[in-house]
């Protein structure tokens, strides 16, 4: 599972309703806006976001899909996410650790947001296998990570994204980086927006 003990994430979320200041830090708001802007489709069929924390990014993703599955290793984080996503019948929220616990079915978008570097290197490789097995033929994978060192982790944003790229081999559709943030969007089958428009298929689904 995670190199940082799951109990540490539970303590963090139990003690702080917003442990990473998702609601108040400009970095977090800007990162969410950049993440959502990287997505190529207006709407997705089925989305999976592991490591959802208190569900702030999840709320934005919920507006862009028909079905959303979110998951976190912390019971308290899941409880906060349930509050944030209350009333959204197309959202499923569970407690579980990736890559061990993984939802059934296929997804046309998987979002790995600031959780890849909390995995052990071998677990990250298993995560890649899980992604490959569940991403639809027209699916997209988005990864977003903080570029600075993570206490207690052997991995960082660069090594996580390099592992995803090497193990999966998907074509890169979009790449963004600055001194703080690294975001990559891979498509299993390249599908430029311009090409969809040219063939009259611009429903982005």
- pLDDT tens sequence across 118-166: 999 999 999 999 999 999 999 999 999 999 998 878 899 999 999 999 9
Is 115 buried (19+), middle (13-18) or exposed (0-12) by CB count in 10 A? Answer: buried
- Across the chain, mean pLDDT equals 92
Q: Model pTM?
A: 0.90
Rounded to whole angstroms, the Cα distance separating 31 from 88 reads 23
Residue 10 lies in a domain: yes
Residue 204 lies in a domain: no
Residue 192 lies in a domain: yes
Number of domains in the chain: 1
Residue 104 lies in a domain: yes
Per-residue pLDDT at 83 exceeds 90: yes
Residue 74 lies in a domain: yes
pLDDT in tens, 153-166: 889 999 999 999 99
* CATH code of the domain covering residue 165: 3.40.50.150
Residue 205 lies in a domain: no
Look at residues 76, 71, 102 and name the one whose alpha carbon lies nearest to residue 17: 76
Domain that holds residue 120: 6-198
pLDDT at 154: 87
């Amino acid at each position: 599972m995670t190199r940082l003990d799951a109990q540490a994430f539970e303590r963090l979320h139990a003690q702080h309703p917003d442990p990473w200041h998702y609601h108040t830090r400009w970095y977090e708001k800007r990162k969410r806006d950049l993440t959502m802007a990287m997505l190529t489709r207006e709407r997705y069929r089925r989305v999976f976001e592991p490591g959802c924390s208190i569900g702030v990014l999840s709320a934005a993703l919920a507006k862009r899909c028909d079905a959303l599955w979110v998951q976190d290793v912390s019971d308290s984080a899941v409880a906060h996410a349930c509050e944030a996503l209350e009333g959204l019948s197309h959202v499923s929220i569970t407690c579980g650790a990736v890559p061990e616990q993984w939802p059934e079915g296929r997804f046309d978008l998987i979002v790995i947001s600031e959780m890849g570097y909390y995995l052990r290197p071998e677990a990250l490789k298993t995560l890649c296998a899980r992604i490959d097995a569940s991403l639809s033929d027209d699916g997209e994978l988005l990864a977003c990570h903080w570029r600075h060192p993570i206490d207690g982790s052997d991995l960082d944003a660069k090594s996580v994204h390099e592992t995803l790229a090497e193990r999966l081999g998907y074509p890169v559709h979009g790449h963004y980086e600055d001194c703080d943030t690294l975001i990559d969007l891979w498509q299993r089958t390249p599908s430029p927006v311009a090409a969809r428009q040219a063939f009259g298929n611009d429903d982005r689904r």
